[in-house]
Structure 1
């Protein structure tokens, strides 16, 4: 571990209420719109009562004003010059100020990434290259028939591939990574999915075990922490976790891990055997990791200027607002500081954190 990482770890452990370092990422909720209907997502299934859906679609205006975006850029450049800006929610390529906002990030030399379902990637590829976007994270969930079924769109896979190919044909192409959420519909084709991209110069492929919060876990959590950090069931409405073929999944994981690819292939979390896979999906009350680090690394800014911890899967806790405070103050606000201290006191995770992507450290 480098000296810098060691000092940050010491800061988190001994002084969680004041971080002496900058955030790694500012996650940007630049809009509240999505153009697909993903079966494993509360937004796609229109379960708008969940915390996840509220974080992604619950604020107004529908699009972050360009003036607010400019404030974020200028304050980041002034106070956190090495911090990365991540366009993440809800579907950034639908953001009506996309090109103008990217011109700002480029002007201030800020590292910028975009997470997208890639339905409009072909249309936006030129702008992404022109304005120097550093990284593109593309969410795909299987080959054509599977992906189109999961996403509720007749040619979402084909359009994503056309966008990737257009990016790769252009100068100043961002680093392209593909991420695939594991669901009941794609466990039989994960190896074929990686093979499909084997000849493309990707930065990597990442498989993400489904993030989910069953109702029983949310209720257990709320008995202990609901007054401060309310939780809801999430990502369990049009997806039946029990229908995931765990034996098939483990076989696919083994096949992928036994092959060499020209880019890294990862699983999150990294599960070492079939028993670990079964534990993840069948016993969500058990923690896989030990600590959430994202509340110590990131914060998310919504379209109305309000700020929540970490990213869209975290608790809908208002830790500040950019119309009232600046980024530097919000990063160590009293509300954010208390959440970090409470997480440490609880041992690193709260019950509803158990299957969040940030809990696997």
Structure 2
């Protein structure tokens, strides 16, 4: 399909779902809040509410991806006991939070795990969220999509984020499962087929590739060539770098948190400890590969994150202290995370129970949102200059 054909297909999706595209492309709340924070214009208590909600609905996963901070080589979920791993975030609890927040401007819900589609009421969750007129995007490894393709299209979700980390050989190596790539491709085929059967252009199918030392540039190029012309996706998002940090960075974060909250033993960051400072030559190749891919006449749109000039990609690896020019994180004012056990966190990535803001199984969400612990966290962030030591490669920061 020519580039013109691709743009025509994407335009049809925009016409079918204009509110969604207006929200995700404009991102006005994030930009405006970040600017205010940078000028020390802190929003007054009671004047700001979440526009986006991140739900981690299940801990379990059917894969063990090498770079995953949950179940990967250094993943932290291996330390969870059996009882905790069997929990799920209850549907009625989620709906209670949604009913609190929808009247105050909640627009978007991201859903993740673990593996999202292992959640036993996943379709019911989609249906409930759409009844409240929310934008819905599940994140998935794609291996269970074939089973649910028709139902998820009928549920009317807006987008689906499918992780694919290379061509078949590289992807299966990263996933540590020889069957992973084929099942994910079958899932993508099933979703597109169900869309066409219903004459729909939603959900938007977004495939996400994350660059790590486990896959590298050649696997990205091979993946694009394998996907080309098959009509399996709308957008390929290339995450130019993984989430990573040093042990010293994590320990510096722990000291700051102990100062403000009097808690110790935060470990979520340990799932991302890695040293990519030796990756400079590969990073230059990443830059050139993305440039090359953006010139290709693929039947999907190629997008890269973070949104920085391509020439600056090597700095993502060689200089961890570089903050990409993002000086203040707006997420604690706009985008809370609710974990499987109901704990509420101001950051999606670094969720440690000692740093929970409160639990939605025990109190209303807005009491937590405007509570003392959330206020202390926002004050801590402000007094530390808008970012914490572990923030510089966090996906929530780099994707804004």
TM-score interval, normalised by the smaller of the two chains: 0.7 to 0.9
CA contact (8 A) 1:17 1:340 kept: no
Q: Which of the numbers 148, 156, 161 marks the counterpart of 2:180?
A: 156
Q: Does 1:40 align with 2:40?
A: no
Q: Which of the numbers 326, 341, 357 marks the counterpart of 1:304?
A: 341
CA contact (8 A) 2:160 2:203 kept: yes
Deviates more, 1:17-26 or 1:1-10: 1-10
**Structure 1 residue 355 displacement after superposition:** 1.5
Q: Does 1:187 align with 2:214?
A: no
**In structure 2, the residue corresponding to 1:206 is in which secondary structure?**
strand
Q: Summarize deviations over 1:81-103 as a string: whole Å, max 9, x none.
A: 54222211221100012122223
**Structure 1 residue 336 displacement after superposition:** 1.7
Q: Which runs of 5+ in 1 are unaligned?
A: none
**Structure 1 residue 314 displacement after superposition:** 5.4
Specify the alignment match of 2:150 in structure 1: 126
Spell out the pairing of 1:1-361 with structure 2 (5 A cutoff). Answer: 8=33, 12=37, 13-16=40-43, 18=45, 20-45=47-72, 47-49=74-76, 59=84, 62-77=87-102, 79-80=103-104, 82-170=106-194, 171=198, 172=200, 173-184=202-213, 185-199=215-229, 200=231, 202-208=233-239, 209-228=241-260, 230=266, 232-236=269-273, 242=278, 245-259=282-296, 261-272=298-309, 276-288=312-324, 289-313=326-350, 317-360=355-398
- Paired with 1:315 and 1:123, the residues of 2 have a C-alpha distance of 33
TM-score by length of 2: 0.78
**Structure 1 residue 104 displacement after superposition:** 1.9
**Structure 1 residue 54 displacement after superposition:** 7.8
**Structure 1 residue 107 displacement after superposition:** 3.0
- Paired with 1:115 and 1:3, the residues of 2 have a C-alpha distance of 23
- Paired with 1:144 and 1:66, the residues of 2 have a C-alpha distance of 35
Give the aligned CA root-mean-square deviation in angstroms.
Answer: 3.1
CA distance 1:350–1:342, shift in 2 (3 Å):
same
**Structure 1 residue 41 displacement after superposition:** 1.0
**In structure 2, the residue corresponding to 1:307 is in which secondary structure?**
strand
**In structure 1, the residue corresponding to 2:47 is in which secondary structure?**
coil
TM-score by length of 1: 0.86
Question: Whose helix proportion is higher, 1 or 2?
Answer: 2
- Paired with 1:313 and 1:220, the residues of 2 have a C-alpha distance of 14
- Paired with 1:354 and 1:311, the residues of 2 have a C-alpha distance of 14
- Paired with 2:338 and 2:276, the residues of 1 have a C-alpha distance of 31
Deviates more, 1:257-266 or 1:315-324: 257-266
**In structure 2, the residue corresponding to 1:64 is in which secondary structure?**
coil
CA distance 1:110–1:6, shift in 2 (3 Å):
closer
- Paired with 1:34 and 1:9, the residues of 2 have a C-alpha distance of 34
Aligned residues, how many? 355
Deviates more, 1:4-13 or 1:83-92: 4-13
CA distance 1:49–1:6, shift in 2 (3 Å):
closer
Deviates more, 1:189-198 or 1:145-154: 189-198
CA contact (8 A) 1:177 1:202 kept: yes
